[in-house]
């Protein structure tokens, strides 16, 4: 959109055009993030990826369009500037105005589609499960081996020591430095 608007008005690809391009990239990313965050929340509530994407696009449509229109109308004076220094003002104003109009239109339609496609390729929660399994494998620990280690360590304790250990772990205040402590470990 930025490139089409600037070349359509026969303006130069200068530093002002590039600043406008960076601005549009940021605003388009913000719009996409709004839709994706709402879609993720709706999917966490039990909706399918398609329903969540459609509802998120519908819910965020008005705020995104209003923000984008306000922004594009705000740079309109730059796009039609005359007088001293107007070439740089026209370059940034035209680029930003064209970019925000095209970027918003594309984002409203394509971000929900990409959300559904990516969610179908990468199932939600799949990466977290893989990551936790990898961490456990790298540490050489499984839940069964950790339980076996704790049971073996507790077998050498008397009943009174075991009760004191469990009671102490529940009653001990958290460390002063704020770091979490595993129950039963010395301070």
pLDDT digits (tens, 9 = 90+) for 81-101: 888 877 778 788 888 888 888
Domains in the chain (CATH in brackets) are 2-124 (1.20.1640.10), 129-171 (no CATH)
Give how far the C-alpha of residue 123 lies from the chain's centroid of Cα atoms, to the nearest Å.
Answer: 16
Give the start-end residues of each E strand in 98-162.
Answer: none
**Which of 90, 43, 98, 44 lies closest to 68 in space, CA to CA?**
98
Answer yes or no: are the C-beta atoms of 122 and 43 closer than 8 Å: no
Provide the token pair at 3: 């490139």
Tokens 């705020």 sit at which residue? 63
Backbone region of residue 172 per phi and psi (left: phi > 0; alpha: psi in -120 to 50; beta: other values): beta
Answer yes or no: are the C-beta atoms of 22 and 103 closer than 8 Å: no
Alpha helices in 9-85 (DSSP H): 15-44, 49-74, 76-79
CA-to-CA distance for 36 and 178, rounded, in angstroms?
34
Q: What is the pLDDT of residue 127?
A: 61
The more confident residue out of 159 and 72 is 72
Provide the token pair at 1: 């959109």
Average pLDDT, the chain: 77
pLDDT digits (tens, 9 = 90+) for 144-158: 666 666 676 777 777
Provide the token pair at 38: 């709402």
pLDDT digits (tens, 9 = 90+) for 15-54: 777 888 888 888 889 889 989 998 988 888 888 889 999 9
């Amino acid at each position: 959109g930025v490139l089409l608007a600037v070349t359509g008005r026969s303006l130069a690809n200068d530093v002002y055009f590039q600043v406008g391009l960076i601005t549009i990239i940021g605003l388009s990313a913000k719009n996409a993030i709004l839709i994706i965050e709402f879609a993720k929340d709706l999917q966490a509530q039990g909706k399918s990826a398609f329903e969540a994407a459609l509802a998120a696009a519908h819910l965020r449509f008005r705020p995104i369009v209003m923000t984008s229109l306000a922004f594009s109308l705000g740079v309109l004076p730059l796009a039609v500037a005359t007088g001293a220094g107007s070439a740089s003002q026209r370059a940034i104003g035209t680029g930003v105005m064209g970019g925000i109009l095209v970027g918003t239109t594309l984002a409203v339609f394509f971000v929900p589609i990409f959300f559904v496609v990516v969610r179908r390729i990468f199932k939600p929660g799949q990466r977290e499960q893989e990551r936790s399994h990898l961490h456990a494998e790298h540490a050489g620990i499984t839940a069964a081996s950790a339980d076996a280690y704790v049971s073996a360590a507790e077998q050498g304790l008397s009943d009174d020591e075991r009760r004191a250990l469990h009671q102490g772990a529940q009653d001990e205040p958290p460390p002063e430095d704020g770091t979490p402590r595993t129950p039963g470990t010395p301070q």
